[in-house]
Amino acid sequence: MDVGILFDLRNPNAWHRPWADHYARSLEFCEEADARGAGGVWFTEHHLFEDGYLPQPLTFAAAAAARTRRVRIGTAVVLPNLRKPAQLAEDAAIVDLISGGRLELGVGAGYRVPEYNLFDAEFGRRFTLVEQNIREVRRLWAEGGITPGPVQSPVPVWGGFYGPRGVRIAGRLGIGLLHISHKLFEHYREGLIEGGHDPETARVSDLLPVILADDPEAAWPRIAPHLAHQMNTYRQGSVEGTDHPRPPLLGPGDFPDRPADGSWATLEILTPEEAAVRIHERTKGLPVKHLIFWASIAGMPDDLVARNIELISERLPVLLAKLAGTERERVPGGE
């Protein structure tokens, strides 16, 4: 499995740096990940966030593609319903061309009413529309409906869905599932069968709520304020434009580093050794292709970001490979 790094380009007021500098530094981190052997750099989409959450991931992906040579270039996710299918097909094709065929296109339905209002899109029909739009983008690529087309045929497409309805859509379309869940994986396989696809073609990936550090205890108080900012924007943004009440603001002390039940926390700060064991257990039995990690949590200090990228790119893959090899040795006849 590939191990990649996601950038959301948040630049909160409390830790703000000039926007041009912030984007330039983020591209340098992409180059660093590429040089250190990361499997991918990924970008995500939101609109109308005060901290400048990246609104156009494919635009930034094109810049990252031009500055790197080996990493996969992914979106986790871009929102097809906020674009015409032809525009998304063209934008994605250009990224694939610039990168020499390294694009991984993750797509999703989104969850924020204001974003749909900004683009005059229909929020209530978002799942129906996202399935239609993904089909149309793939048709345009396959039938030469845009020029130039992408290098890859087909471009790997991933569905970033977190409930049974969306997961079945990913299956029906025969695309990858950008969510690691043993429970929902069965819905995905059922969708593959429903869409006439071989269930053995199933593949999953996900963004994991993990930051790596040499000393998690020392890193936690430095990252907690940034996590509080990030989670408050998600919580407030999820009800914006609806009749639901705004949730109370969270503080740095509201986030347990590791829950007692062993499930993923909102964020875990782990050593590479701890993370490898947790990930190995959580992904066992699933056809995992990409593991994706946050590069930064809402403008956290650069020294922590740089070390996080270094550990993800260089140390974690070695540890995961060792665990996988040990697992194979336990199986009679394992290869």
Q: What is the CATH number of the domain that holds 39?
A: 3.20.20.30
In a domain, 234, yes or no: no
For the ranges 40-54, 78-92, 193-207, 237-251, which has the lowest average pLDDT? 237-251
pLDDT of residue 265 exceeding 80, the answer is no
In a domain, 252, yes or no: no
Q: Kindly list the distances between the CA atom of residue 261 and the CA atoms of 24, 191, 227, 264, 277, in Å, as whole numbers in the listed order.
A: 40, 30, 21, 9, 16
For the ranges 52-56, 228-232, 318-322, which has the lowest average pLDDT? 228-232
pLDDT given for residue 287 in this prediction: 98
CB–CB of 58/92 below 8 Å? yes
pLDDT given for residue 263 in this prediction: 44
In a domain, 32, yes or no: yes
For the chain, the 3-state helix, strand and coil shares in percent, each to the nearest 5, are 50, 15, 35
pLDDT of residue 59 exceeding 90, the answer is yes
pLDDT given for residue 253 in this prediction: 76
In a domain, 184, yes or no: yes
pLDDT given for residue 323 in this prediction: 94
Beta strands in the chain (DSSP E): 2-7, 40-43, 72-78, 103-107, 157-159, 176-177, 204-208, 210-212, 268-270, 288-294
In a domain, 240, yes or no: no
pLDDT given for residue 266 in this prediction: 80
Cα 320 to Cα 335: distance, rounded to the nearest angstrom: 16
Mean pLDDT score, 281-291: 96
Instruction: Domain of residue 13: give its range.
Output: 2-223+264-330
pLDDT given for residue 239 in this prediction: 76
Q: What is the H or E stretch that residue 237 is in?
A: helix 216-239
**Percent of the chain residues topping a pLDDT of 70:** 94
pLDDT of residue 297 exceeding 70, the answer is yes
pLDDT digits (tens, 9 = 90+) for 77-132: 999 999 999 999 999 999 999 999 999 999 999 999 999 999 999 999 999 999 99
In a domain, 131, yes or no: yes
pLDDT given for residue 293 in this prediction: 98
**Number of domains comprising the chain:** 1
pLDDT digits (tens, 9 = 90+) for 200-228: 999 999 999 999 999 999 999 999 999 99
Query: Among residues 14, 4, 5, 58, which one has the least CA distance to residue 232?
Result: 14
Cα 154 to Cα 52: distance, rounded to the nearest angstrom: 32
In a domain, 16, yes or no: yes
pLDDT digits (tens, 9 = 90+) for 160-213: 999 999 999 999 999 999 999 999 999 999 999 999 999 999 999 999 999 999
Give me the amino acid identity at 184: L
This prediction has a pTM of 0.93
pLDDT of residue 331 exceeding 60, the answer is no
In a domain, 251, yes or no: no
pLDDT given for residue 325 in this prediction: 84
Cα 164 to Cα 113: distance, rounded to the nearest angstrom: 21
pLDDT bracket for residue 328 (50, 70, 90): low
pLDDT of residue 332 exceeding 60, the answer is no
pLDDT given for residue 240 in this prediction: 80
pLDDT of residue 260 exceeding 50, the answer is no
